[in-house]
Amino acid sequence: MSAIASPTATASTRRPGLPREVLLLGACAILLALIAARFPGFVTPANLANVFNDTSILIVLALGQAAVILTRSIDLSVAANLALTGMVVSLLGAAHPDMPIVVLVLVALGLGLALGAFNGLLVWKLDIPPIVVTLGTLTIYRGMAFVLSGGAWVNSFQMSPAFLGLPRALILDIPVLSWIALAMIGLALVIFNRTSIGRAWFATGGNPVAALYAGIDPGRARFMAFCFSGTIAGLCGYLWVSRYAVAYVDVASGFELDVIAACVIGGVSIAGGIGSVGGTVLGALFLGIIKNALPVVNVSPFAQMAISGAIIIAAVLLNTRSERKAGRIILRNTTVLSGKPT
């Protein structure tokens, strides 16, 4: 029994050296300093607030994706979920301009939850690999958006002022979209760190067999993670189309890659069981700063893609190195706990 005592379990997620959050804060500060040397206006409080607002949807989606990745799964359909949900609420808003915004938001949340639950059920009950499931549903959800719209766009003149105004409304001179992102960060902190389902996500990704012996159903934990991710994607569906004032089939095409990149840069392990809300948020902000700064310094879109890809590879290498070191700590602690000499 001593071989599975709590110190060993604690060591499995402890990383040597500086925490990822500290490293990311330093990287963001260095990046901002380099940009400020050439364009001081970029680092003014007003512009940094705009950068946060521009990155808000990425932050929110990354928090949902982080829950899925923690369970050794992945959701490639988040952007397609966003596109389908955004199309549905746009069509509803265009057909019924007097429909209360709260109803449209609830529709977005409910539809996103249903789409996420569909992914989760296929993974849980049919034991299909998550990457296969979400590759399939990615296409299905995009196809459904095309069928519902007939390939047509829903433009700003078809949307009511209330529909368009919510993300742009100001509270204490800060857009509601930014407040929603902050609220989701707070909610994620509570769910990940203070609830049984959050602990189940970490346990499932860290060691599914041990989680099962501890009374946790890994399949159910993955299902709940997909539901969480889907609900968040549904909310972002409304936020996206109302902020950009347009809905079409290919909206947010490829955005799922940015979402996954934000998680990886933030230290969420693709192998599951390791990650944090703070790291995920900082990973998304790091990407947001790069995407806002590179056009300012006249970097071509193709070079931007290459830079983003290089950063992702570097983050994966850093994650792999950290996890390998954590594994060695587990072996040393296990040896000590078992009473055998090192």
Q: Give yes or no for a contact between 24 and 314, defined as CB atoms under 8 angstroms apart.
A: no
SS (H, E, C) 43-79: HCHHHHHHHHHHHHHHHHHHHHHHHHHHCCCCCCCHH
Q: Residue 119 and residue 129: Cα distance in Å, rounded? A: 10
Closest to 263 measured CA to CA, from 316, 323, 326 = 316
Place of tokens 């105004």: 165
Q: Inform me whether the pLDDT recorded for 141 exceeds 70.
A: yes
Q: Residue 172 and residue 175: Cα distance in Å, rounded? A: 8
Mean pLDDT, range 141-168, rounded to an integer: 92
Lowest mean pLDDT among 119-128, 205-214, 238-247, 321-330: 321-330
Q: Residue 86 and residue 181: Cα distance in Å, rounded? A: 18
pLDDT: which is higher, 267 or 327:
267
Name the pLDDT band for 312 (thresholds 50, 70, 90). confident
Identity of residue 114? A
Percent of the chain at pLDDT > 70 equals 87
Name the token pair of 232: 């968040």
Write down the pLDDT at residue 338.
Answer: 42
pLDDT (tens digit per residue) in 233-282: 999 999 999 999 999 999 998 899 899 999 999 989 888 898 999 999 99
Closest to 265 measured CA to CA, from 230, 226, 309 = 309
- Mean pLDDT comparison of 19-23, 166-170, 300-304, highest-scoring range: 166-170
Angle subtended by helix axes 45-70 and 277-296, to nearest 10: 130
Q: Residue 296 and residue 31: Cα distance in Å, rounded? A: 13
Write down the pLDDT at residue 335.
Answer: 41
pLDDT (tens digit per residue) in 2-39: 333 333 333 334 444 567 788 888 888 888 888 888 88
Mean pLDDT, range 99-108, rounded to an integer: 95
Domain ranges of the chain: 2-337
Lowest mean pLDDT among 20-24, 183-187, 320-324: 320-324
Write down the pLDDT at residue 322.
Answer: 65
Task: Give the three-state DSSP class for 299.
Answer: coil
Q: Inform me whether the pLDDT recorded for 46 exceeds 50.
A: yes
Q: What is the mean pLDDT of the chain?
A: 86
Reply yes or no on domain 2-337 having CATH 1.10.10.
no
pLDDT (tens digit per residue) in 195-236: 999 999 999 999 989 988 889 999 999 999 999 999 999 999
Q: Inform me whether the pLDDT recorded for 80 exceeds 70.
A: yes
Note every long-range contact of 306-311, with CB atoms under 8 Å and residues 24 or more positions apart, other chains counting. Answer: 308/261, 311/261, 311/265, 311/286, 311/287
Instruction: Please tell me whether the overall predicted TM-score, pTM, comes out greater than 0.85 for this model.
Output: yes
Name the pLDDT band for 311 (thresholds 50, 70, 90). confident
Percent of the chain at pLDDT > 90 equals 61
